[in-house]
Amino acid sequence: MEQKKIGLFLKKLRNENNLTQEILAEKLNVSSRTVSRWETGSNMPDISMLVELSEFYQISIPEIIDGERKSEKMNQETRDTAVKIAEYSNNKGKIEKRKLISYLLGIFGVFIIISAFAIFPNDSSWGSIYAIIGGVFLVIGIYFGTKCIQVKRSLRILSIIGCIIILSGIFAITDYIAVSQFHQVPRFSYCKSYGEDVIEHKTLFYTVIQKNPGTKSEQIEIVK
């Protein structure tokens, strides 16, 4: 493939249609510098752009690649093949982009969850808030990941529901371990009741009583 020959041919086609590089660039949604690089042979159009050029000039793609006319009508079979290749290339690029997004969202979600557990104490509501936010990012990342492997929508929904259940279970288990083994208040309590030297923390599965909070004689008990 002679790039200079192709460039001269593209220039000839443009001149035959009485177009400047700027006008052609505008019609093809590219820069005039790109058109100039094609015509000097320093750069070549990609597959999708070859399809557009062949349609625009009403010539076949092999004619562009060979840098000379061979027929008056564009070879439909060649054009269809090039279109399919271009579509495949675009779809592959979209899948790779989705994979990258899913990885980034998942990693970011895990980072937020770990940071929430490490930075905020159990009695701070910010820890649970940021942990839930991190879980949302993680679930969204998994959703994008399932779209990349092109599973059925019903399976994607089931995988998201399963992920939410597992994540909720992990939060509940870590909370229970913190209460029962390390005598800390639950991080994911949905209600707090304050009494005299007593705070009641209600979770979905049990209730925790915090006696003498903030003192040396503080006690943490699971009552049910």
What φ, ψ does residue 133 adopt, rounded to 5°? -60, -45
**Are residues 143 and 106 located together in one domain of the fold?**
yes
Kindly list the distances between the CA atom of residue 213 and the CA atoms of 12, 102, 124, 198, 210, in Å, as whole numbers in the listed order. Answer: 86, 42, 14, 7, 6
Looking at per-residue confidence, does 82 or 219 come out higher? Answer: 219
pTM tops 0.75, yes or no? no
**Are residues 35 and 112 located together in one domain of the fold?**
no
Taking the C-alpha atoms of residue 90 and residue 93, their distance in angstroms, rounded to an integer, is 5
Residues 6+ apart with CB under 8 A from 87: none
Tell me if 109 is assigned to some domain. yes
The pLDDT assigned to 122 comes to 84
**Are residues 105 and 177 located together in one domain of the fold?**
yes
Domain boundary among 19, 39, 74: 74
The pLDDT assigned to 195 comes to 87
The mean pLDDT of 29-56, rounded to a whole number, is 87
Tell me if 114 is assigned to some domain. yes
The pLDDT assigned to 214 comes to 82
pLDDT in tens, 132-174: 999 999 999 988 888 777 667 788 888 889 999 999 999 999 9
The pLDDT assigned to 105 comes to 93
Question: The domain containing residue 197 runs over which residues?
Answer: 191-222
pLDDT in tens, 198-214: 999 999 889 999 998 88
**Are residues 58 and 108 located together in one domain of the fold?**
no
**Are residues 168 and 100 located together in one domain of the fold?**
yes
Domain count, the chain: 3
Tell me if 197 is assigned to some domain. yes
